[in-house]
Structures are given as structure tokens and as C-alpha cells.
Structure 1
Amino acid sequence: MQKQLFEQFSPVIRSLAPTELNGSPTLNAKLRLAQEGDIEVCYAPFEYINPAARIVLVGITPGRTQMLNALKETRKQLDQGADPISTLMAAKKVGAFSGAMRPNLVSLLDCIGVNRWLGIRSCGELFGTASHLMQTTSLLRNPVFINNENYSGNPAMTRHPLLRAQLLSYFGEDVKSLPKAVFIPLGDKVAAALRFVADQGCIDHSRILDGMPHPSGANAERIAYFLGKKSLSELSVKTNPAKLDLARDLLTRKVMALA
């Protein structure tokens, strides 16, 4: 686990004003790692790696909400005198996939049998008593903003020099600390970038379990169909049932093969 950035930025985090911890305009400048045109990369304390993890959930990049949650928890831990590892563990736990998408994520993972493979009742336990089995991360570990808005995948990180460098220098190094884990990308853009990382030799393609719909609430119809809660006849033209059927079947078989 790389701790150099935490050591660099922990004094900055301890000095942040309450307004900055709530996202005031001066925050980004204090935490800026890199900038190119309208693209800005800011530090957030997400370095912690769980080397015993068996499953890694991969998002695209932390959003501002996750960034602020992690910064507030880090400030709290630092003020209480916690050591760096404990602080980073706490920040990661608070900031990771928090919010409304978590119930969808748990249902999708249970649907393809991840809970049975891991020997737990439900993947909801991964966010509690079974958290030692999971690593949550993002392809772009540090938050990326475009014109001060959350980065959502455009421009493609594999083609933009700054974003590609962030991808390979941080995520590419993190995966080397997770030698026994399988990786589940959340969304097609994440899956494509994860395959790019595999093409660079950072991870074996066989350890990528892609095809699951993104757990965002905006993806409600695809999720409902994937979970068997909505029938083929009820689908709108925006949803491709054949793609979802194939993905569900392939993922279920891949998870069964892990056992």
C-alpha cells in the first residue's frame, strides 16, 4: 500500500476549515494532484488495500460525496490520534459505495452466487461482518472532476494521457497487492478499462468477472430484469434482454467455477 500521498496530505486535511470539509470552492486547490485543461485530479484518502480480499468491486472514480465522506472520517481519526493504517481503513470503509446503490449491488452479487462462493448468507455482509473478504476500489483512485463536475467516463481514461497515467500508476500498482482476488467491474466503461489494464499485464483476464449491470438507481429496469423481478414483456426498448441473459448466465457459471 502506497502511503506517500497520505503523509503529504494529512497535514492539509487536519488544517481544512469546516466549510472546506463540506465542499467549498477552495477545497480542490488544496488537494489538487494534477490538472490538464478542464480535467482536475484531487487527493482523497483511499489508499488502503486489503491483501486478503477475495473479491474486488471496481468503480470508475470516487465522486465528490465519497471524497467528502472520506475526508471527514480522516479528519476525525487524525484528531483522535489514530495511526495512518487505521485512519485509511476507516476512511475507505466510510467512503466506499455508500448511498442508494448499495442494496442494488448486494442483490446483483447474490443473484450470481457470490455469497454462496464466499460462504456467507448475503453479500450485504461484505459491508459489515465479512468486510475482510472484500476490497472496494476505483480505476481512478483519486477523484476526477471535469469543470468541477464528477467524471463519468468521458473522455475515455484509456485514451486521455493524464487519466491513463492515473489509471496505471495507482490502480495498476494496487492490483499487484491483490494476487488472489477476482475483480467485478461496475459498468461497461469500467469493464473496458479493466480489460485495458489486463492487456498491460497488470492482471490476468481470467480474474475479471464483467457483465453485471451498474447498480445505480438510474439503471433500475436493467437491474430488475437481471434479478428476475421484471419480465421480458414489461421491458422498454432501451433494455437489451439478450445481453443481460447472456451476462447473467456467464457470470453465474464463472462464480460457480471459482468454488
Structure 2
Amino acid sequence: MNDSTEEPSGASRGTQTLMRGLDLVEALRDEPLRVAELARTLGLSRTTTHRLAAALVERGYVAQAERGLLTLGPTLLQLGFTAHRRIDLVRVARSRMEALSADTGLCVFLGRRDGDHSLHLDRAAGRQRLEVSTRPGDRRPVARTGLGKALLFDERDDGLARLYRATGADDAAAIDRWVADMRADIARGHVIHDSVGNDGIRSIAAPIRDVSGDIVAAIGIATAAQYLTPDKVAAIGPQVAATARAISRDLGYADPDPSVPAASFSLAPSLP
């Protein structure tokens, strides 16, 4: 097998070697492989593949497993953990929050789960004069807000029922309806929530995942229900979900459908 049709210069040869090494590491992302299998996957000779693998094993980027298999090594685990620990969720999400706020004219919130509560981390103010009072640092029962409910998308039915009961609900039929409504939200990909009480706030929220695939935060918009009419909810809901997916990809999440962009369109409600 011929690895190249022409001999590259010194500088380009170094770049080529680096790229081949990275290709080898990425080829091991899903499963361990033998040198011969790697050579076929990469389109390289076995000699070149063996030489690259040996260098990567020496640096800990690749490890030797049983039966001649090669797998990802401990150095990658250490680097991945360090990178994950250094990610600042608020910093990563901020620009997309501001874009969503600019497009919709609404206040955008970012929060994470804190036990049985949601903890608000950041907000991007919209153009509206009517302002939702929630501030960074505020905590709410996780089952009582749109943002909190988006953090529960991976909960089982019994977990959802427990969290709703924690808000004071004790009617079995009401709890069952709430769990069924949550399942509808999960199937849709975003929450549409009307607050309990007299404040008349309507919110739309969606979960954010990180490289592990776990939900680590949620993003949402909120305003008076009269300004989020059904037609605007139908338009803004997918935009909130797309923004959450874009932030998830920024955090390393392997989106099963990365073709879905963070939608960008102006749909500012007419506010007093």
C-alpha cells in the first residue's frame, strides 16, 4: 500500500504525520481495533500504522489491550477531564443566549439543577419593558418552572411523580396528568409552561447536555402569557430547542442530528 503519491517537504511531512496520528486516535473512538484494521480504515500501510501507534502508546494517547487490540489511552482521559472541568457553562452559553434574546426580544434564562430545585445562573435581558423578576442565584422547586422541568427530561415516571409531589400535590389523578404532560414535553423536545398562581408568566425551555450526554443545564425564555400567543409559542419553541442543542454541541455533546442549526429569526413580541 502506498501512503502518498509524492514525497512531502519536511514541514508538510510533519503536518501529515500529525494528522495521521489524530486520524488514528479518532478511529479508536468507538471501539478498539488491531493495527491491520486501523491500516485499512486509515488507508495506510501496516508499517506506517504500527509506527504511529507505537509513538502514541509511548505518550499514553493509545493503550494496548488484550488480543492485540489498541484502544484510547489514559492521557486522553486526563486531558478530557481537565478540559471538561475548565469549561465555564455561563461563558459558553452567553453568546447564544444573547442571540436568542435579540431574535425574540424576550429575556433568556440559563439554569442548572440543584437537588430538587433549579438554580438560575445567568440571564440575557430582552427588549421588553415588562421584566420577569427571576435573577441569577434564585432557586425554585424544579417541578414548578419551565426551566426546571427541562432539567427533568431524563427522569423516569416515578422520579417525576416524586418531584411533583414535593411541590405539595397529593391528588393521584393530578400527578398522573402532570407526568403525562411532561412526557409530551419530552417528546416535543421543549417545555411549554404556565406558572402556577396569579403572575401569568409563560415560559419555554429546553435541556442542555454535555459531552457525557447528561443534562447539565437548561435554557429558556419567559414573559407574560398574553405576549406568548399560541402562534408565537409554535415559532419560538423550536428556536429555544435548537439553541439548547447548539450549546450542547459547544459543550462536546455528540448530537444525533447535528444538522439542526440554532435557528435565527426575529420574532419580537409587541410589548407595551
More strand by share: 2
Same-fold status (TM-score > 0.5): no
The structure that has the greater radius of gyration is 2
More helix by share: 1
- TM-score using structure 2 length: 0.23
Higher relative CO (Cα under 8 Å, sequence separation at least 6) belongs to: 1
